[in-house]
Amino acid sequence: MFEELKPHLAELRKRLVICVLSVIVLFIACFGFWENILGFMTRPLVRVLPKGSEIIFTQLGETFFTAMKVSFFTSLLLAMPIIFWQVWLFVAPGLYDNEKKYVIPFVSGASIMFFLGAAFCYFFVIPVAFNFLVNFGAKQFTAMPTIGEYVGFFAKLVVAFGISFELPVVTFFLAKIGLVTNKSLSDFFRYAIVIIFIFAAVMTPPDVLSQFMLATPLIALYLLSIFIAKMINPYKPEDDESENSTDVAQA
């Protein structure tokens, strides 16, 4: 059995090495511009900070490790098209020839949706969420957010929204190869709601507003995925009849 898995493990290692090397090269390039990137990342927070508040650091080495995190986060975002390409090359050998032609739509669609989710998070979610978090109780306290904590929250939110916006793309290709239908997604909807809110709770800061701001578009994307599946691979009642007749024949 190990001999059968050996070629797949070698292929997986090859794809992982390419992804890691891409991130490393981009990391080195991004590290030279970490201050500019950090300025772009902190702009939504700076705009909502009340008068007298400022971003600080409280630990030795926090600014250096923040520069490392900023560079790594940016390199990871920039490497996403390469990562999606490598994911496709890894799964492509198991697909039929007519399915392999979707490589360009998959890579471009996945990349566009990821960056669309990241942009939605940056321009809408982060300003609203941090305006609420920073100014809640501002009359009693002075906001002094640390740069390391902010960058961690920022990266987590952006990645969460980027991943969330991949749902329609994944559904499209699963429907194309016949693994999901609009009925299977509709039947799973009640469980999907629970999973979505658990995912939102894990990936957002511990406040209800941020959780709902992630869960709401995810639910909308899931409903869009049902529509996509209906267009690509609609449920056919005769499929159930054929399965039942097969079961009866086998019995």
Residues 187-203: pLDDT tens digits?
999 999 999 999 888 88
Listed residue (126, 143, 137) closest to 40, CA to CA: 126
Q: What's residue 28's pLDDT?
A: 95
**What whole-number distance in Å separates Cα of residue 115 and Cα of residue 99?**
25
Residue 145 structure tokens: 């957010």
Mean pLDDT for 135-147 is 77
* pLDDT confidence tier of residue 6, bands split at 50, 70 and 90: confident
Q: What's residue 2's pLDDT?
A: 57
Contact 210, 204 (CB under 8 A): yes
- Predicted model pTM: 0.82
**What whole-number distance in Å separates Cα of residue 80 and Cα of residue 23?**
9
* pLDDT confidence tier of residue 249, bands split at 50, 70 and 90: very low
> What's the per-residue H, E or C state across 146-207?
EHHHHHHHHHHHHHHHHHHCCHHHHHHHHHHCCCCCHHHHHHCHHHHHHHHHHHHHHHCCCC
Q: What's residue 19's pLDDT?
A: 94
Q: What angle do CA 111, 27, 159 make, to 5 degrees?
A: 40
Residues forming beta bridges with residue 56, ordered by sequence position: 146
Residues 76-133: pLDDT tens digits?
999 999 999 998 888 877 777 777 777 788 888 899 999 999 999 999 888 888 888 7
Buried b (16+ CB within 10 A) or exposed e, 205-243: eeeebbbebbbebbbebbeebbebbbebbebeeeeeeee
Mean pLDDT for 146-162 is 89
Domain boundaries, the chain: 1-232
Q: What's residue 239's pLDDT?
A: 57
Q: What's residue 224's pLDDT?
A: 93
Residues 17-68: pLDDT tens digits?
999 999 999 999 999 999 999 999 999 888 888 887 888 888 888 899 999 9
Task: Compute the half-sphere exposure of residue 172: CA atoms within 13 Å on the CB side of its CA.
Answer: 16
Backbone region of residue 56 per phi and psi (left: phi > 0; alpha: psi in -120 to 50; beta: other values): beta
Q: What's residue 117's pLDDT?
A: 92
Angle between helices 167-176 and 208-232 (to 10 degrees): 20
Residue with token string 């609420």: 132
Listed residue (81, 87, 111) closest to 16, CA to CA: 87
Q: Residue 201: is it exposed, middle or buried by C-beta count within 10 angstroms (0-12/13-18/19+)?
A: middle
